[in-house]
Amino acid sequence: MEQKIKVLHLVESFAGGVFFVIQQICNNIDLNKFEVSIAYSYRPETPDNLEDYFDPRIHLIPLEMVRHISLYRDLKSGIEIYKLLKQIKPDVLHLASSKAGVLGRVFALPTKINRIFYSPHGYSFLMENTLPAKRKIYYGTEKLASLLPGKIIACSETEAQYTRKLAGTQKTVLINNGIDLDEIDRINRANSSSTESDTVQKIHIITVGRVEPQKGPETFIHVAQNLKKKHGDNIHFTWVGDGVLRSKLQNHCPDVEITGWLERTEVIRKVSAADIYIQTSKWEGLPLTILEAMALSKPVVATNIIGNKDAVSHGFTGYLCNHESAFITELDKLILSAELRKKLGRAGRKRAEENFSLQEMIKKITDCYTT
């Protein structure tokens, strides 16, 4: 029997979209050909029942890393990473998120691993809630780390543009995030007999994600307040998720439905039952939430930032907005026209099929691992 290729995923931010991307890669890659391990750092949003999310052939290894910069704790984590690399002896090392990307490449230097890949999933130097001086430090760190062995896998075309400037064309690989359209359709069909309904016809506007600064809840609040003043009970806003700013969102928009975290099938049911998907985030990699909304034929109104603009085609599958007033204007168009919602939704589904397939993502990653 041919010996399996050993792949080690090293990830600090094992939550949210990064968690889901890694789950999709590991569960859908050929496990008869690859022996897969995941060394991860626990986050508050990391699911407690991790084993339920992964094929039993995948090895899960807890490894403490901290998000912030701490020389002592980072050195301690780095030593543990080096020990793990010596123990597993992976043929492929795939790093996800900034901290793992730096530590993994540094502490892999003494090893003989020659296939190293780093997926930023949204560069830390683009985080708008961070002081400019700290963002410069993050950029400088990424620039220095890019000199180390390994290639950088960008999850969207715009992230790839930053990567080419940072590390050069030869070190840049573009692999769009992908979604499992068959799975979404299967869940949607199973839910079709139990979709939500109102005695009064309302336009449902929904978002999915952490209620935290990255996702721009302040913009969501102002948009919801303005549209509720104009349309009253004819529109309903839902935020699927939870986070540190939940109480602020609830206090300013008591009419907004905040569901907390839901099971995946329930999230898809909620989005499927909605009319419009909104994304007010300040920075992204390539959000799977938008891709899944497009797969469910929902028009998307989103901030004009990296990731969002790689998914949404302005005026064709939805709208990209540079400020709050644009959100209000574009959402108003969709609220008033069912035909426009259907037209943009159909185009979004087609775009998802053509550009963001899970099968294509797995094929390209497999090619990286084996060539």
CATH number assigned to the domain comprising residue 350: 3.40.50.2000
Express each pLDDT in 299-333 by its tens digit: 999 999 999 999 999 999 999 999 999 999 999 99
Helix/strand/coil for 94: strand
- How far apart CA 197 and CA 313 sit, in angstroms, is 30
pLDDT of the residue at 190: 83
Question: Residues 307, 209: contact at Cβ < 8 Å?
Answer: no
| DSSP label at residue 45 | T
- How far apart CA 166 and CA 145 sit, in angstroms, is 10
Question: Residues 77, 48: contact at Cβ < 8 Å?
Answer: no
Q: Does residue 151 share a domain with residue 136? A: yes
Helix/strand/coil for 138: helix
pTM value is 0.89
Q: Does residue 224 share a domain with residue 153? A: no
- How far apart CA 331 and CA 319 sit, in angstroms, is 9
Q: Does residue 174 share a domain with residue 45? A: yes
Q: Does residue 210 share a domain with residue 102? A: no
Structural domain of 327 = 181-355
Name 359's Cβ contacts closer than 8 Å, sequence gap at least 6: 178
Express each pLDDT in 17-63 by its tens digit: 899 999 999 999 999 999 999 999 988 888 888 999 999 999 999 99
pLDDT of the residue at 1: 63
Name 82's Cβ contacts closer than 8 Å, sequence gap at least 6: 107, 108, 110, 111
From residue 246, alpha-carbon distances to 14, 48, 260, 273, 275 in Å are 21, 21, 9, 23, 23
Q: Does residue 332 share a domain with residue 194? A: yes
Summary mean pLDDT of the chain: 93
Strands 235-240, 172-174: pairing is unpaired
| Residue 197 pLDDT level (bands cut at 50, 70, 90) | very low
Helix/strand/coil for 155: coil
Q: Does residue 168 share a domain with residue 244? A: no
- How far apart CA 120 and CA 274 sit, in angstroms, is 31
Helix/strand/coil for 245: coil
Task: Give the up-direction half-sphere exposure of residue 346: CA atoms within 13 A in the CB hemisphere.
Answer: 5
Q: Does residue 122 share a domain with residue 48? A: yes
Helix/strand/coil for 260: strand
pLDDT of the residue at 106: 96
Q: Does residue 210 share a domain with residue 169? A: no
Strands 34-40, 5-11: pairing is parallel
The residue to which tokens 């220095």 are assigned? 144
Counting Cβ atoms within 10 Å, is residue 169 exposed (0-12), middle (13-18) or buried (19+)?
Answer: exposed
Name 268's Cβ contacts closer than 8 Å, sequence gap at least 6: 184, 187, 188, 191, 292, 296
Q: Does residue 48 share a domain with residue 197? A: no
Q: Does residue 53 share a domain with residue 198? A: no
Q: Does residue 29 share a domain with residue 161? A: yes
Query: In this structure, what is the dihedral angle of CA atoms 180, 186, 188, 192, given to the nearest 10 degrees?
Result: 170
Name 317's Cβ contacts closer than 8 Å, sequence gap at least 6: 294, 299, 300, 344, 347, 348, 351
Q: Does residue 217 share a domain with residue 79? A: no
Domain count for the chain? 2
Look at 4-13, 130-139, 275-284 and tell me which has the smallest mean pLDDT: 130-139
